[in-house]
Amino acid sequence: MTKKILLGLTLMLILLVPTTVLSAHAQTTNPGPTPPADGDKFNYNAGGSTFVYPLMDKWRVEYNQLYSGIKLNYQPVGSGAGIKLFTAKKVDFAGTDAPLQSSDIKKAPQGTLTIPESMGAIVMTYNLPGVQKNGLLLTGDVIAKIYLGQIIYWHDDAIVSLQTDPSIAQALKDDKNKIILVHRSDGSGTTFAFTDYLSKVNSDWAGRVGHATSVPWPAGMGGPGNAGVANIVKKVSESLGYVELGYAVHNKMVSKTGNGAGVTGSGQISMPYAYIQNADGNAFVQPTVLNVEAAAAQGISSLPTADGVWSNVSINNQPGPNTYPIVSFTYLLVDPNLDQIKGESQQKAQDLVHMLYWMVTDGQQYATKLSYAPLPGTLQDLDMTGLSEIKYDGTQIWAYP
pLDDT tens figures, 151-186: 999 999 999 999 999 999 999 999 999 999 999 999
- Say what the pTM is: 0.89
- Cα gap 181→321, rounded to integer Å: 29
Q: At what angle do helices 346-360 and 53-66 cross, to 10 degrees?
A: 120
Neighbours of 144 (CB within 10 A): 24
122-285: what fold?
Answer: D-Maltodextrin-Binding Protein; domain 2 (3.40.190)
Please enumerate in sequence order all residues whose Cβ is within 8 A of that of 54, keeping only pairs 6 or more positions apart, or say none: 246, 247, 250, 370
| pLDDT tens, residue order, the chain (401 aa) | 334 434 443 443 333 333 333 343 344 457 899 999 999 999 999 999 999 999 999 999 999 999 999 999 999 999 999 999 999 999 999 999 999 999 999 999 999 999 999 999 999 999 999 999 999 999 999 999 999 999 999 999 999 999 999 999 999 999 999 999 999 999 999 999 999 999 999 999 999 999 999 999 999 999 999 999 999 999 999 999 999 999 999 888 766 554 433 333 446 778 999 999 999 999 999 999 999 999 988 878 789 999 999 999 999 999 999 999 999 999 999 999 999 999 999 999 999 999 999 999 999 999 999 999 999 999 999 999 999 999 999 999 999 98
Interatomic CA distance for residues 82 and 65, integer angstroms = 26
Q: How far apart are CA 232 and CA 222, in angstroms?
A: 9
Say if CB 251 and CB 271 are below 8 A apart: yes
**Nearest residue to 324 (alpha-carbon basis) of 375, 372, 299, 290:** 290
3-state helix, strand, coil in the chain (%, to 5): 40, 20, 40
How buried is residue 265: exposed, middle or buried, by Cβ count under 10 Å (0-12/13-18/19+)?
exposed
pLDDT at 393: 97
Contact 154/172 with Cβ under 8 angstroms? yes
Question: How far is it, in rounded angstroms, from Cα 261 to Cα 18?
Answer: 54
Q: Convert the pLDDT of each residue in 357-382 to its tens digit.
A: 999 999 999 999 999 999 999 999 99
Q: Rounded to an integer, what distance in angstroms lies between the CA atom of residue 364 and that of residue 379?
A: 12
Cα separation, 182 vs 221, whole angstroms: 5
**What is the model's pLDDT at position 29?**
59
Same fold, 2-119+289-396 and 122-285: yes
- How confident is the model at residue 253, as a pLDDT? 79
Contacts of 106 (CB under 8 A, 6+ apart): none
Between the alpha carbon of residue 395 and those of residues 113, 332, 339, 398, 399, the distances in Å are 16, 21, 10, 9, 11
Relative to beta strand 180-184, strand 239-244 is: parallel
CATH superfamily name and code, 2-119+289-396: Periplasmic binding protein-like II (3.40.190.10)
318: left (phi over 0), alpha (psi -120 to 50) or beta: beta
Q: Give domain limits for the chain.
A: 2-119+289-396, 122-285
| pLDDT 10s digits, 55-108 | 999 999 999 999 999 999 999 999 999 999 999 999 999 999 999 999 999 999
pLDDT given for residue 14 in this prediction: 37
Q: In whole angstroms, what is the distance from residue 316 CA to residue 162 CA? A: 22
